Amino acid sequence: MSDCIFCKIVAGEIPSFKLYEDDEVFSFMDINPLHDGHCLIIPKAHYPNIFEAPGDVLAKLMPVVGRMARAVNAALSPDGINIMQANGEAAGQSVFHIHFHVLPRAMGDDAKINWGLRPGDMDRIAANADKIRAALAADGA
C-alpha cells in the first residue's frame, strides 16, 4: 500500500534499523521505543490486522517473533519481555499493517499497554540494533 509507513520501510523508501529479513518477514527497531530494544516484526505483504492476515503468514511471523525476543533478551538482559500485537485504534494500533512488538520491560516501569509515543535517541536505537544483530548472528542467523 502506497500510504503505509511499514510498506515504505520494507520497500526501502524510509530508512530503518533493520534487524532481520527473509522473503516474507521483516524486523526492525521501533523508533518510538517503550524501552531499549523495542522492536517490531511484520510481514512484507500488507495486511491491516490479524483478522485479514492468512494463517500461513502468521505461521511465518511467529518463529521470527520468538527469535527476536530471544535475541533482545540475550543482547540487553531486560527484567522481562512482553509480546504485543494490537488490532484497531481502540487497541492502540497506530499503523494499520499487522505487526508484533517485542517489548523489553524493567521492574517497576509501570508501562501501560497504550503508552505515549516519544521519539527515541537515534544513536541509542542504532547501538541497540547492533547488539541485537550480534545476538541474532550468534544464534545462527
| Mean pLDDT, rounded, for 4-27 | 97
Provide the grid cell at 114: 497504550
Please classify residue 135 by burial: count the beta carbons closer than 10 Å to its beta carbon, then call 0-12 exposed, 13-18 middle and 19+ buried: buried
For residue 89, pLDDT over 60 is answered with yes
In the chain, where does DSSP find H-type helix?
Answer: 5-10, 55-76, 122-138
Structural fold of domain 5-138? HIT family, subunit A (3.30.428)
Q: Which residues are catalytic?
A: 99
Per-domain residue ranges of the chain: 5-138
pTM, two decimal places:
0.88
> Considering only CA atoms, which of 111, 117, 138, 106 is closest in space to residue 36?
106
